Amino acid sequence: MKMSNKFINNLSAASPVIGVMLMVVVTVILAAAVSSYSTGMLKGSEAVPSASFDVEMRVDIPYNNSANMSYIAITEITGDKIPTSDLKIITINPNARGDIKTMEVLPNSNNTVSMAFSSNSGNSNTGTSPYWNLGNFPTEGQFFGEYILEPGMTMVADEYSNYISDYYWDEDLGRYISYSSQGDSWKTAMQAMFADWCEGDPMDSYHIDPDTRTIHAGDVVTIKIVHMPTNKVIFTKDVVVTG
């Protein structure tokens, strides 16, 4: 009697089915492994904060009978609470003389002495720029890097024309230098914020001449806020300077 080949044909047909099933199993295992790895990476990384800001920059506006005032104010309108210790502020002055067009302000870095914080005894406070202007000087959590930025809060870097700054822009060197024997003690907030922000004659600290600056009303400067843990720019704006 001739053996039926029906059973043999069934075995050969099962081979592709088994192969497909094995591929499905392998795919499921790989997908689970990738998902687990990705979840672990997400848990170990820091989320990028979200916020919207308004920026105002004014130069040489009357302050009192003896001085004018210049300032930049950065206000968080909406968004997350962000420790300023996680932020750096970048400014770009395209008109700056020399090769330095960009300045970076880092948190908890003493890069300015502001006369706005001087006491009646003549002592001054060293801090960072910009700082949170509370209206009460000095105060705890005043300086950039010490406080948490939240909606409604404004960071201010300012300068009054009666500041006595030892820092002046040296066009030949392309950077700020100090003419004071005290060294790096009198860099103003606006000098810390913007390249080539110079006020007056380097041999006469009281001689204020805004024409020595390269930033005037009508100019456009770029402001960026960077979240340092993720190295992401969370805000950028081209700001028109007003008088």
Instruction: Give the model confidence (pLDDT) of 33-90 as tens digits.
Output: 555 544 444 444 789 999 999 999 999 888 877 778 889 999 999 999 999 999 999 9
Angstrom distance (rounded) from CA 13 to CA 107: 70
Element (H, E) at 51: strand 51-64
Angstrom distance (rounded) from CA 110 to CA 186: 11
Mean pLDDT for 133-144 is: 62
2-11, 179-188, 191-200: the lowest-pLDDT one: 2-11
Mean pLDDT for 189-212 is: 66
DSSP state, residue 130: S
DSSP state, residue 143: B
Give the model's pLDDT for residue 76. Answer: 95
Q: Is 18 helix (H, G, I), strand (E, B) or coil?
A: helix
Range ranked top by mean pLDDT from 18-22, 118-122, 200-204, 218-222: 218-222
61-75, 141-155, 172-186: the lowest-pLDDT one: 172-186
Check the CA dihedral 172-173-178-183 and report its sign. negative
Question: What is the identity of the amino acid at 108?
Answer: N
What is the chain's Cα-based Rg? 30
What residues contact 178, with CB distance under 8 A and at least 6 apart?
166, 167, 168, 184, 185, 186, 187
pLDDT above 60 for 6: no
State pLDDT tens for residues 23-35.
666 565 666 655 5
pLDDT above 70 for 152: yes
Q: Is 110 helix (H, G, I), strand (E, B) or coil?
A: coil
pLDDT above 90 for 157: no
Of 37 and 164, the structure prediction assigns the larger pLDDT to 164
State pLDDT tens for residues 54-66.
999 999 888 877 7
The reported pTM is 0.71
- Give the phi and the psi of residue 120 in degrees, each rounded to 5: -65, -20
Element (H, E) at 226: strand 220-227
Angstrom distance (rounded) from CA 165 to CA 204: 10
| Mean model confidence pLDDT for the chain | 74
Angstrom distance (rounded) from CA 153 to CA 189: 18
